[in-house]
Amino acid sequence: MCSDEQLQEIKLLNQFNLESATAIGIKVHSTEAAPEAVAAAARLHAKGLTDHIDGGYLTERGIEAASHAQRLVGLLSD
C-alpha cells in the first residue's frame, strides 16, 4: 500500500512533461506550494529522481519513475 508521502511523490512525478523531460523542469516554490508538495520535491531529490531539491529536471532514473507513474495513472483512468 502507498503511504501519503509516496502518493504526493507520484502526484509530483505526474506533473513532469515526458515529451521533453530534459528540456522542461518544474519548480516547487516553498512560499506558494502546499507543504506536502515541497516535502515531496525534497524526497524525490534525495532519491536521485530530480536534480534540485525544489523540483528542477528529472534525472534518468526520474524519467523512468515518472514514466511508470504516468502510465499507471493512465491505466487507472481508462
The pLDDT tens digits for 2-57 are 899 999 999 999 999 998 756 689 999 999 999 999 999 999 999 999 999 999 99
Scan for cell 532519491, then name that residue. 47
- The model's pTM is 0.90
- Please check the confidence at residue 63 and state whether its pLDDT lies above 90: yes
The Cα–Cα gap between 26 and 58 comes to 9
Mean pLDDT across 59-71:
95
